[in-house]
Chains A and B, each alone.
Chain A
Amino acid sequence: MKGKWSYLLIFPALLFIIFFLVVPILLTMVSTVQVDNGWALSGYANFFKDYYLRDIYFRTLKIAGITTLLAAFLGFPTSYYISRSAKKYRGIFLVLAVFPLLTSPVVRSFSWMIILGKNGIINDILMALSLVDEPLNLLYTEFSVITGLLYLFLPLMILSLVGVMENIDGELIRAAESLGASKFKAFMKIVFPLSLPGLIIGTALVFTGSFTAYTTPMLLGGDKTRVLSTLIYENALALFNWDQASLIAAVMIITTFTIVILINYFSDKLNPGGVK
């Protein structure tokens, strides 16, 4: 490239991100360890001593964990099917997975308010079948939050998996089967290990996504089933307790980063030098 001056072109974006992303985030983080006369981690100790906060923290982890497991369980066979489908069907499957992904999370969560509400479809069916005497409270529970998050993130899991499964040579599977492996065994010995990189990416995306999501837990959990993100909002804009909000924000960042680092670490162990 001609001239050193052209490297200056990188600076607008670089400085913009430093000033408006790195600085504000650092300020939030720093404020959590500042006390009147210096530095202390007492804020974090208090966070985990507080039953209410600790419950919400572990609830958020649990919700994200269950969502990720369900997404993997539903996504794995589905992606395998898509990756082995004829090209024209594959296209349709991809369109139908990408479309929800590009649709507003408000719209996607709202649809579950219609389905799970007191007068919603599920309750209508249960009542019609006389399985229940009065409508169940399905909304604003952990169940509704997990359902909404699964709905939100399943396409991400499917797309991550289809990406790697497509590259698995069908001949390998056929070879294993012709050498006497059962379909299930061929799947476990060939497809599963070769799909791990996609599963790892999908897991990281779905877990961090559901751990930090705001819109869905707000609409489907409300103030009955709080998670960390809705708690940040409540503390910042309803209770004006900005110190508390900063602390929750910092706990959220630290947890997210730890999880991403752990997932990367294990994926390196499982798959040295492989795709990340």
Chain B
Amino acid sequence: MNEKGKTLSIFTLLVYFFLIAPLVIIALTAFGESEFLKFPPESFSIRWFVNAFQTEMFISTFIISLKVAVISTFLALLMGIPASYIISRGNFKHKRLIESFFLSPVLIPQIVFGFSLFNFLIIKLKLPVFSSLLIGHTIFIIPYIIRVISANLENFDYEIEEAAVIFGASPLKTFFIIVLPNISSGVIASFILAFINSFNNVPISVFLTGPGISTLPIQMMSYVEYYFDPTVAALSVLLMLMTTVLMFIIERSLGLNYFVEN
């Protein structure tokens, strides 16, 4: 620690102050009493939390966001686990190419993808808004699933699988009793990562909402356009609590080093 100067540690602390202070400010503002957003708040109350829970549109969009995140994560896992399995286990030409194809949805600007899906699914194919929303979210979280599960499968010893087959287990049974339990931490971690990215998404959802169907982040955005009271700050605190819990699960299952390994 003594090999670097004081300047560097002060610099780092200032950068971290920049990263953390806004979230602290939002949290403190949420507990303010006045009608408008003020920091520091003059007096404290939990009325804006109560208001958030009593605002029907936040409850209903929260439920939709939750549904979309859970269902699209399941769909993405359903397609992503077999694909990762083949990529890691199989021996075929253009393996790397196929893998990068599966990771390609992250290269497309989300706003462009959202708009193109709106054109294709809602205008051309006349699909219902909710299904379109599910499809959009599923596509964009597939890369998270494939990246984590493939990495997990790299460490799996396929000889165990072969042993099971030799002793007469069917391929399907082998997969469920041998392979799946061995990659459970990857499945949990990719579930959480996919869930959180779906739940927070705006640029895709913004094109795929309709009468009665909207997501919580979209609803929060349109709320702050008209009202500047601490209700959204209160919601932010609740969302940060959710993030904390989910991050704890990721830390346990995948380790935060995942984020620094490119």
Contacts and interface: CB of A to CB of B under 8 A. Distances in A.
Interface of A: 1-3, 6-7, 9-10, 12-14, 16-17, 20-21, 23-25, 27-28, 74-75, 77-78, 80-82, 84-86, 91, 93-108, 110-115, 117, 119-121, 151, 154-155, 159-160, 162-164, 166, 170, 173-174, 183, 198, 201, 208, 211-212, 214-215, 218-219, 229, 232-233, 236-237, 242, 245-246, 249, 252-253, 256-257, 260, 275
B256 interface: yes
Contacts, number: 268
Given A13-B102, A174-B3, A229-B111, 11 more contacts: A6-B171, A12-B79, A13-B83, A16-B79, A93-B16, A96-B20, A111-B236, A214-B110, A215-B217, A236-B118, A242-B119
26 contacts: A6-B171, A12-B79, A13-B82, A13-B146, A23-B120, A27-B120, A78-B15, A81-B8, A84-B3, A97-B19, A100-B19, A100-B20, A103-B243, A104-B236, A106-B236, A110-B26, A111-B22, A111-B236, A112-B22, A114-B26, A160-B260, A183-B4, A249-B111, A249-B112, A253-B109, A256-B107
- Listed residue (B36, B104, B203, B233) with the most chain A CB atoms within 10 angstroms of its CB: B203
Interface in B72-87: 78-80, 82-83, 85-87
A116 to B, nearest CB: 10
Given A23-B120, A154-B15, A236-B207, A105 B202 contact: yes
Given A9-B83, A214-B202, A95 B110 contact: no
Contacts of B165: 2
B25 A121 contact: yes
Interface residues of B, number: 90
A80 B110 CA distance: 32
A110 B109 contact: no
B126 interface: no
Interface in B110-146: 110-113, 115-121, 124, 135-136, 138-139, 142, 146
A170 B257 CA distance: 20
Nearest to A5: B171
B89 A1 contact: yes
Interface of B: 1, 3-5, 8-9, 11-12, 15-16, 18-20, 22-23, 25-26, 29, 36-39, 78-80, 82-83, 85-87, 89-92, 98, 101-102, 104-105, 107-113, 115-121, 124, 135-136, 138-139, 142, 146, 165, 171, 196, 199-200, 202-203, 206-207, 217, 220-221, 224, 228, 232-233, 236, 239-240, 243-244, 246-247, 251, 256-257, 259-262
